[in-house]
Amino acid sequence: MKALIDGLLKFQSEAFPKRAELFKHLASTQSPATLFITCSDSRVVPELLTQQEPGELFVIRNAGNIVPSYGPEPGGVSATVEYAVAVLGVTDIVICGHSDCGAMTAIAQCKCMNHLPAVASWLRHAESARVINSARSHVSDTAKVGSMVRENVIAQLANIQTHPSVRLALEQGRLNLHGWVYDIETGTVDALDGATRRFVPLARHPHTYALQAQRNSDVA
Ligand code: ZN
């Protein structure tokens, strides 16, 4: 805990003064353009990997970067998605999986989770990805986990489209969806190309979308 408090004191003496004007502006308002949904994993830091400042990302993090499908009893993820889309008016949603994901490894390797009933229940929201991934052949356990990570991003992109606020924004052409997989060791990101359903290096294909809003005629 000492490291956290030391860090807070360093923030107050060094990082905060550099952004004093920004924080003054942010004191009573926020208008992030992006909802970033990723895993709780300590190695995935959305603001660091996208180099965004405070106020620029609205973030949901949980085990396995999961978005439960909309249902009769919406939970915290659903409420946060709804607020981001319907109130903040985000224009982009990124669902970002990552390499060496513990949640996806547990699913891919069919690990016994009897001692983790809440985790086991939560990961059922990735069941469609598990079924697809387990029906495929994989060259190695590592490849199977990597494939599970990608399939889960695709599954969660499908789940989020069951949310009424998301469906309405898509219908009105004001929302883009992105599916990313971040590699911890290299810092690279592969993005889902919705047209081909393949993941491509984002650095070489920066205009890759999972689902793109209807383009206006004046957009190149
Ligand atoms: Zn993870």
State yes or no: pLDDT of 219 exceeds 80. Answer: no
Which residues neighbour 182 within 8 Å (Cβ) at sequence distance 6 or greater? Answer: 38, 44, 49, 96, 97, 98, 99, 188, 189
Task: Name the β-bridge partners of 190.
Answer: 181, 201
Q: Which domains occur in the chain, in start order?
A: 32-201 (3.40.1050.10)
Ion ligand 1: protein residues whose beta carbon lies under 5 Å? 39, 41, 101
The residue type of 24 is K
Which residues does the annotation mark as catalytic? 39, 41, 43, 98, 101
pLDDT at 220: 43
pLDDT at 218: 44
State yes or no: pLDDT of 34 exceeds 60. Answer: yes
pLDDT at 97: 98
pLDDT band at 215; cut points 50, 70, 90 = low
- Residue whose tokens read 């079924």: 131
Q: Please write the tens of the pLDDT for every residue from 149-203.
A: 999 999 999 999 999 999 999 999 999 999 999 999 999 999 999 999 999 999 9
Q: Please write the tens of the pLDDT for every residue from 71-130.
A: 999 899 999 999 999 999 999 999 999 999 999 999 999 888 889 999 999 999 999 999
Q: Please write the tens of the pLDDT for every residue from 172-182.
A: 999 999 999 99
pLDDT at 113: 87
Compute the distance from residue 156 Cα to the ligand 1 centre, in Å. 14
Compute the distance from residue 182 Cα to the ligand 1 centre, in Å. 10
Which has the closest alpha carbon to 194: 216, 181, 209, 214?
A: 209
Compute the distance from residue 142 Cα to the ligand 1 centre, in Å. 15
Average pLDDT over residues 126-139: 96
Average pLDDT over residues 44-51: 98
Compute the distance from residue 100 Cα to the ligand 1 centre, in Å. 7
How far is Cα 49 from Cα 97, in angstroms, rounded to an integer? 13
pTM of the model: 0.95
